[in-house]
């Protein structure tokens, strides 16, 4: 935490606007510092009081016996600006500005005030949290520089979870959920408007705390990527999982987020791709942010996510299988030897295939759990387990069930969860240290998140080792120019990407010669660096069958382009290329995240069906295959109704090369659109038929 030590572990804290009343903004931090055992010096500042909550009170910063490392600015409006100026002059290291009414309400004047405070701070070597910040809370050190109401009814419940948020409420609401589960929190910080110290930069410092085992983020905007990239790299090196809830998925949500923080919204699909690229799990909602927390804290090192389900209810078995299928979690196929042993233990009317239905036999033989679990533990196909106990009461030895399940979990070292609706049943399993959910759907959902996230982190590490880091965001700002199609195809061919056989012709005679060399039928297209969409102007002719027709079309297209007032770069004569499926490959430079590559179903309906997946370079062939498998058209790649499989390997190779092209600063490619890319059967490759490339001037 050396980078921002004074923000997380200050040796002294001053509170400008300190209040005797702990229910006021200026009174809460003083109360919390005492309550949670802060060991440093506390300096309340209020010119109208000699003492605040038992601490000597000072009239101003200048009256303090020393410069505090941290100052909490708990005065409102423009008074906060003067307080920040005083802090900078006094030698304060970090100022936490709680006042609102800045960039979140006025994108011009409010942002200007924020910039002024930051400039004053930086000249003096000071950093700012906020403005519009609810504050920082480190329960490990007792440095609670926050006015959150949530902490009023909390005891010191130090744990291993860190929660960082741009929103004040969302920095503490998850803490409330976790407290209900008996899970303590070590850090909870709200950075507000991120005028200086951003949530990403602060999270880097928090990630260096060895006591943090899970890091949660709430984001409304991502104005820059560098701190989140650094955070993700540190977390992967530490094997520290990060779960992020990024709001603003809908247009209405993006507008609300902008009005809340004053920051521009990010394109949501690119946010998804960015998180995936860096091994960060994106939670869909608040429940998804916290529901699997206990699983992350178990210290499990899963090897896969094949699930085994056990219950005394056939219905629960069915619903567990449904829930697992819905999230793409495979049900493990148990070995024949496991099935044989289970048949020797269970009654004939029980189900020994996965999911395993113990039926009501559990009522008459409470040892069934204890007898079958060791057998299942030895099956190599089982990666994770769920035990469903929907109903149990008198006649059921629930205490033995819970004890056997806990022993089983320790024996295997593999993830184990329990679904139990009855509180009396759930409490006994929880007392043995087993994670319990009310329903099998919630249990499967949390288990899936945990296991899929661990797989994502592993893939991300492997990619980093194979392909390196993404690198700095290239400054390719300024004017862009469009390459004509011939130059676009030449650029791709130079990168080893297979393009349609073609010739650029500058006369009728050359068009005729090209037809004879390529062999008909051919495609004839007008070529101009001023025209991106040729079909609308009649500049694409398919199935040209004679040399005379090729020559006539050349003349017609030259006339069309010149009458349009565009540059005439010639006419392309290209082979008619067939294939099994039209694919689209596109790329552009996002202003925050840099190069983004899109791949999906192509052809003229690409904007209608929007069946695409996004990737952020650098990526591997494995990453591309994962992305292709997420497409709705993915089942077609393997071949259906007796068709041979398609040449997905060739497509993957082309996409990887596009990713490398977008990373190359010498290429200066700003965007490209390859549609269609004709994908053929296995061994026959894929061919770029049409290309539009824009480069930085």
The mean pLDDT of 554-570, rounded to a whole number, is 96
Distance CA(128)–CA(519), nearest Å, equals 70
Asked if residue 72 lies in contact with residue 52, where contact means CB atoms within 8 angstroms, the answer is no
pTM equals 0.91
Delimiting residues of CATH 3.40.50.720 domain(s) in the chain: 2-295
The yes-or-no verdict on residue 255 having pLDDT over 70 is no
pLDDT attached to residue 252 = 63
The yes-or-no verdict on residue 154 having pLDDT over 70 is yes
In CATH terms, the fold of domain 298-459 is Rossmann fold (3.40.50)
Distance CA(259)–CA(475), nearest Å, equals 29
pLDDT attached to residue 254 = 54
Q: How many CA atoms lie within 13 A of 680 on its CB side?
A: 11
pLDDT attached to residue 374 = 87
Delimiting residues of CATH 3.30.1490.20 domain(s) in the chain: 501-575
pLDDT band, very low/low/confident/very high, at 474 (cuts 50, 70, 90):
low
Q: What is the DSSP letter of 2?
A: G
User: What are 381's strand-pairing partners?
Assistant: none
pLDDT attached to residue 250 = 64
pLDDT attached to residue 397 = 86
Q: Report which secondary-structure segment, H or E, holds 493.
A: helix 485-494
The yes-or-no verdict on residue 571 having pLDDT over 90 is yes
pLDDT band, very low/low/confident/very high, at 395 (cuts 50, 70, 90):
confident
Distance CA(393)–CA(395), nearest Å, equals 6
Both tokens assigned to 522: 């051919």
The yes-or-no verdict on residue 107 having pLDDT over 90 is no
Query: Among 188, 210, 200, 206, which residue's Cα sits nearest to residue 230?
Result: 200
Q: Return the exposure string of 238-247: e unless at least 16 CB atoms fall within 10 Å of the residue's CB, then b.
A: eebbbbbbbb
The mean pLDDT of 444-471, rounded to a whole number, is 91
pLDDT attached to residue 608 = 74
Query: Among 235, 214, 216, 218, which residue's Cα sits nearest to residue 294?
Result: 214
pLDDT band, very low/low/confident/very high, at 12 (cuts 50, 70, 90):
very high
Both tokens assigned to 407: 């022993």
Residues 6+ apart with CB under 8 A from 662: 587, 589, 595, 597, 617, 669
For residue 536, CA distances in Å to 8, 381, 539, 560 come to: 61, 57, 7, 11
Asked if residue 42 lies in contact with residue 30, where contact means CB atoms within 8 angstroms, the answer is yes
Helix axes 314-326, 440-467, angle to 10 degrees: 30
pLDDT attached to residue 331 = 95
User: How much is the mean pLDDT over the chain?
Assistant: 92
Between CA 130 and CA 140, with CA 134 as vertex, the angle to 5 degrees is 105
Delimiting residues of CATH 3.30.470.20 domain(s) in the chain: 581-696
Distance CA(18)–CA(202), nearest Å, equals 25
Between CA 442 and CA 451, with CA 446 as vertex, the angle to 5 degrees is 145
> Which region among 102-106, 251-255, 337-341, 581-585 has the lowest average model confidence (pLDDT)?
251-255
pLDDT band, very low/low/confident/very high, at 467 (cuts 50, 70, 90):
confident
- What class, spelled out in words, does domain 501-575 have in CATH? alpha beta
pLDDT attached to residue 469 = 73
Superfamily of domain 581-696, CATH level 4:
ATP-grasp fold, B domain (3.30.470.20)
The mean pLDDT of 447-473, rounded to a whole number, is 88
Per cent of the chain over pLDDT 90 is 79
The yes-or-no verdict on residue 632 having pLDDT over 60 is yes
Residues 6+ apart with CB under 8 A from 530: 482, 564, 566, 567
Cα of 592 vs its chain's centroid, Å: 15
pLDDT tens-place string over residues 350-378 = 788 899 988 777 766 777 778 888 899 88
pLDDT attached to residue 411 = 87
pLDDT tens-place string over residues 417-443 = 999 999 999 999 999 999 999 999 999
* Helix, strand, coil in percent for the chain, rounding step 5: 40, 20, 40
Distance CA(199)–CA(180), nearest Å, equals 26
Output 537-545 pairs: Cβ under 8 A, ≥24 positions apart.
537/561, 537/564, 542/576, 543/576, 544/515, 544/520, 545/520, 545/521
In CATH terms, the fold of domain 2-295 is Rossmann fold (3.40.50)
Distance CA(82)–CA(102), nearest Å, equals 14
Query: Among 512, 521, 501, which residue's Cα sits nearest to residue 554?
Result: 512
pLDDT band, very low/low/confident/very high, at 476 (cuts 50, 70, 90):
low
pLDDT tens-place string over residues 209-221 = 999 999 999 999 8
Asked if residue 503 lies in contact with residue 522, where contact means CB atoms within 8 angstroms, the answer is no
Per cent of the chain over pLDDT 70 is 95
Residues 6+ apart with CB under 8 A from 394: none
pLDDT tens-place string over residues 124-151 = 999 999 999 999 999 999 999 999 999 9
Delimiting residues of CATH 3.40.50.261 domain(s) in the chain: 298-459
């Amino acid at each position: 935490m050396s980078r921002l030590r004074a923000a997380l572990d200050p040796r002294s804290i001053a509170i400008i606007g300190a209040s005797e009343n702990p229910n006021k903004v200026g009174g809460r931090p003083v109360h919390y510092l005492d309550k949670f055992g802060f060991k440093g010096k506390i300096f309340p500042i209020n010119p109208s009081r000699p003492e605040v909550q038992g601490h000597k009170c000072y009239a101003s910063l200048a009256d303090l016996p020393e410069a505090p490392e941290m100052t909490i600015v708990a005065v409102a409006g423009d008074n906060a600006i003067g307080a920040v100026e005083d802090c900078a002059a006094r030698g304060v290291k970090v100022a936490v500005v709680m006042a609102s009414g800045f960039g979140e309400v006025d994108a011009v004047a409010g942002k200007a005030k924020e910039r002024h405070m930051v400039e004053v701070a930086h000249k003096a070597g000071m950093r700012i949290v906020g403005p519009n910040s609810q504050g920082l809370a480190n329960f490990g050190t007792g440095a609670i520089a926050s006015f959150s109401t949530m902490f009023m009814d909390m005891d010191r419940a130090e744990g291993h979870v860190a929660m960082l948020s741009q929103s004040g409420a969302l920095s503490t609401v998850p803490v409330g959920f976790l407290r209900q589960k008996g899970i303590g929190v070590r850090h909870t910080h709200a950075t507000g408007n991120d005028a200086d110290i951003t949530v990403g930069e602060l999270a880097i410092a928090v990630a260096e705390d060895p006591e943090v085992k899970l890091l949660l983020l709430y984001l409304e905007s991502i104005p820059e990527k560098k701190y989140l990239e650094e955070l993700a790299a540190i977390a992967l090196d530490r094997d520290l999982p990060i779960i992020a809830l990024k709001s603003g998925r809908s247009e209405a949500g993006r507008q609300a987020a902008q009005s809340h923080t004053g920051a521009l919204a990010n394109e949501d699909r690119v946010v998804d791709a960015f998180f995936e690229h860096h091994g960060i799990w994106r939670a869909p909602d608040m429940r998804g942010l916290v529901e699997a927390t206990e699983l992350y804290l178990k210290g499990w090192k899963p090897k896969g996510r094949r699930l085994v389900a056990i219950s005394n209810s056939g219905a629960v078995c069915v619903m567990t299988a449904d829930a697992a299928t819905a999230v793409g979690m495979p049900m493990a196929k148990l070995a024949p030897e496991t099935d044989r042993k289970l048949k020797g233990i269970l009654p004939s009317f029980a189900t020994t295939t996965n999911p395993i239905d113990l039926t009501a036999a559990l009522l008459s033989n409470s040892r069934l759990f204890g007898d079958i679990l060791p057998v299942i533990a030895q099956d190599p196909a089982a990666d994770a387990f769920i035990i469903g106990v929907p109903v149990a009461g008198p006649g059921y030895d629930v205490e033995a069930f819970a004890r056997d399940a806990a022993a089983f979990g320790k024996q295997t070292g593999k993830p184990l969860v329990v679904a139990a609706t009855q509180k009396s049943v759930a409490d006994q399993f929880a007392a043995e240290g087993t994670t319990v959910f009310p329903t099998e759907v919630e249990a499967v959902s949390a288990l899936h998140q945990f296991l899929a996230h661990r797989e994502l982190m592993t893939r991300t590490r492997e990619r980093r080792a194979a392909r390196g880091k993404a690198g700095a965001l290239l400054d390719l700002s300024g004017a862009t120019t469009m390459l004509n199609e011939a130059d676009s195809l030449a650029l791709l061919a130079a990168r080893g990407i297979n393009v349609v056989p073609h010739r650029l012709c500058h006369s009728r005679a050359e068009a005729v010669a090209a037809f004879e060399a390529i062999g008909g039928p051919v495609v004839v297209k007008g070529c101009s660096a001023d025209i991106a969409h040729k079909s609308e102007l009649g500049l694409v002719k398919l199935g040209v069958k004679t040399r005379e027709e090729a020559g006539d079309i050349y003349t017609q297209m030259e006339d069309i382009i010149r009458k349009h007032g565009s540059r005439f770069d010639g006419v392309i004569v290209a082979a008619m290329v067939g294939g099994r499926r039209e694919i689209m490959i596109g790329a552009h430079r996002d202003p925050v995240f840099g190069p983004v590559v899109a791949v999906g179903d192509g052809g003229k309906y690409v904007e209608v069906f929007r069946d695409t997946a996004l990737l952020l370079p650098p990526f591997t062939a494995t990453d591309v295959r994962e992305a292709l498998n997420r497409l709705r058209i993915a089942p077609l790649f393997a071949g259906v109704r007796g068709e041979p499989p398609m040449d997905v390997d060739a497509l993957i190779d082309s996409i990887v090369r596009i990713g490398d092209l977008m990373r190359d600063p010498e290429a200066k490619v700003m965007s490209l659109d390859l549609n269609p890319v004709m994908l053929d059967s296995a061994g026959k490759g894929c061919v770029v038929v049409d290309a539009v490339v824009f480069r930085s001037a």
